[in-house]
Amino acid sequence: DDLMKGEAVKCRYIAAARAETVGFKFVKQAESTWQGNSVVIIKMSASSIIIAALVDPLYFTMEKDGEHRVLQYDGRTTPKIKDGNKWKDLDAVAVFDWD
């Protein structure tokens, strides 16, 4: 309800690889349509100015009504990608098909 009113919602996210939690905030970025259905686009960004400068925000496209399922997200993902002998963060667009 707070997001739909345009208010920011704060939370802490567990970064298991770093053995810590990081503060994030969610804000409603926009409303749109997705395959004929009403959706909202929610922006998730780091609360810390320092972390926000290093990590781009994630964008979630979610059903506006009903179950509020995530239809797509765009940004940093959990899996990493191997680059030589190292693992690098992976930014991607993940699309979910609920049918």
Segment 26-64, tens digit of pLDDT: 999 999 999 899 999 999 999 999 988 988 999 999 999
Question: Containing H/E element for 54?
Answer: helix 49-54
DSSP assignment of 5-44, as one string?
A: TT--EEEEEEEGGGTEEEEEEEEEEEEEEETTEEEEEEEE
The percent of residues above 90 in pLDDT, for the chain, comes to 68
> In whole numbers, what is the pLDDT of the chain averaged over residues?
91
36/15 Cα distance (integer angstroms): 35
Q: Residue 34: what pLDDT?
A: 93
